[in-house]
Chains A and B, each alone.
Chain A
Amino acid sequence: MASTLVQSRPNGNDGLPSLDVDAFSDAFLADPFPTHAMLRDAGAVVWLPRYGIWSVARHAEVSAALNDWSRFRSGSGVGLANFARETPWRTPSLVLERDPPEHTRARAVLQRILSPAAMKRLRATFMAAAETLVGEVLARGTIDAVPDLAEAFPLSVFPDALGIGREGREHILPFANVVFNAFGPDNHLRRSALAEAAPHIAWVAEQCERATTSGFGAEIHEAAKTGAIAQDEAPLLIRSLFSAGVDTTVNGLAAALHCLARSPAQWAALRADPSLARAAFEEAVRLESPVQTFFRTTVSDVEFAGTTIPAQSKLLMFLGAANRDPRRWDAPDDYVITRQTTGHVGFGAGIHMCVGQLIARLEGECLLAVLARAVETIEPAGPPVRRLNNTLRGLKSLPVRLTPARNATR
């Protein structure tokens, strides 16, 4: 029988804060911040009857849950679906959707490939690519900063670093869009993403199988040869780089460019000291949180922040809300590039913390540093347009006007 009744609080939790909000509706995704404040103020743990899930939105609890992998598991999926009860839409990730000890082995392979030492080797190439790109857009003056910078830059460096061919790269962003929409509920975003997913999935699968001769892909295949991971695991591990390696960075860069275009004082500060480029990117990741949410699953009853969360519960962690929690941050809604951002959860935290965080930062630093030296002003040239996604906070369009620096120190 169809019912419009809102589910009551789970048994034995009469005093539990509960909010009837849809954290995956278009209205919420377009502007989640007022609801984030309600969620944080409602309590340390809040029941969301719409989906029958538990949630945390304060920095302390989000951070604690992220750092507590043994009680808040990833192996049953980090989206709304509980893999213990529902069949996943794809083969689960070897890292994102696994717990130790299996997670540890695969994670170590990626962490070594994406280590600080590896970043040192990429820096000069990334910097040169940023110089080329910024030179091109500056000649045009008014641009759409999403396709022309935020997408163009990662697409100009990451697929090469991964070691894939030039054909078919247009599948990369739509593929990631599917993956991140699929973490959400069965809403129109998830349905339309999955309906159009087949060609993107097929292309990515083909790239993952191919033994590339250089780059991260080749290193992962090499790790399989040495036995660090199983032979048949290599393609799946490469898939993680397609899922999480580009779209997230695109949204981080778009967020930074949006913040800087809106904040002339912060742009001036960056112009005056381009060594703040990395910090300017980091602060944008905190403020806008390109990855807004992830789920965990309990495997036994968990006592957490004064609440008993029963076994097989889904816990939704609002990373974006934690990153603007006034309990943790001064002036949380302000973009301040000199802020001490250590402890933000924009890249997650704990054993599943973004394994590509260093390459994301390197891309952010290179692009923003080159812009800071070559560009006098970056100003809005039209209203930005959001791209709604069940997990990602991003922009589809960001028209800006760039004025070249008079004495560009290139």
Chain B
Amino acid sequence: MASITFVQPDGSRSSVEVAPGTTIMQAATAHGVQGIVAECGGNAMCATCHVYVDPLFLDRLQAATEDEDALLDGAAAPRQPGSRLGCQVAVTNALDGLVVTMPDCQV
């Protein structure tokens, strides 16, 4: 299992334990974590599962595809260096302890 900590815009934190292979989006929606909408259900089409990945973990992630990159440009909240789509990042054992911050809006 790998742990993910979600930080809400107000600073409140919650952690969930998920099996490797679970995406950040799936982890949040399955555990009722607020702040992810995931309208398209994980098909990389809507940019409503936008998260800010803690910079400490960025170099351990696979690079965003061209599609994800374009979608992030259209995300509702400002794009930052740690911006990713939660549905495109699956946790691995190497990402255990991952910290992601929710943007203040998704639509």
Chain A interface (Cβ within 8 Å of chain B)?
Answer: 111-112, 115-120, 278, 282, 340, 342-344, 347, 349-350, 353, 355, 357-358, 361, 365
Contacts and interface: CB of A to CB of B under 8 A. Distances in A.
B70 A357 contact: no
Interface residues of B, number: 19
B102 to A, nearest CB: 15
Interface in B31-70: 32, 37-41, 43, 45-47, 67, 70
A361 B39 contact: yes
B107 interface: yes
B32 to A, nearest CB: 8
Contacts of A342: 29, 37-39, 41
B74 interface: yes
B71 A116 contact: yes
Contacts of A358: 45-46
A115 B70 contact: yes
B29 A120 contact: no
Contacts of B47: 116
A117 B73 CA distance: 7
B74 A119 contact: yes
- Please indicate which of the listed interface residues A111, A112, A115 has the most CB atoms of chain B within 10 Å of its own CB: A115
Given A115-B70, A117-B74, A118-B74, A344 B41 contact: yes
Contacts of B7: none
B27 interface: no
Contacts of A118: 74
Interface in B69-93: 70-71, 73-76
A357 B46 CA distance: 8
Nearest to A365: B107
Given A340-B29, A342-B29, A116 B41 contact: no
Interface in B6-41: 29, 32, 37-41
Contacts of B45: 111, 353, 355, 357-358
A248 to B, nearest CB: 16
By DSSP majority rule, is chain A's interface helix, strand, loop, or mixed?
Answer: helix
A358 B45 CA distance: 8
Contacts of B73: 116-117
A282 B43 contact: no
Given A340-B29, A357-B46, A116 B75 contact: yes
B39 A349 contact: no
Contact of A349 (B32, B38, B41, B76): B41
A344 B25 CA distance: 15
A400 B53 CA distance: 47
24 contacts: A111-B67, A112-B70, A116-B46, A116-B47, A116-B73, A116-B74, A116-B75, A117-B73, A119-B74, A120-B74, A340-B29, A340-B32, A342-B29, A342-B41, A350-B43, A353-B41, A353-B43, A353-B45, A355-B45, A357-B40, A357-B45, A357-B46, A358-B45, A358-B46
Contacts of B32: 340
A350 to B, nearest CB: 7
A174 B73 CA distance: 37
Contacts of A120: 74
Contacts of B39: 282, 342, 357, 361
Nearest to B29: A342
B104 to A, nearest CB: 13
Contacts of A355: 45
A128 B43 CA distance: 30
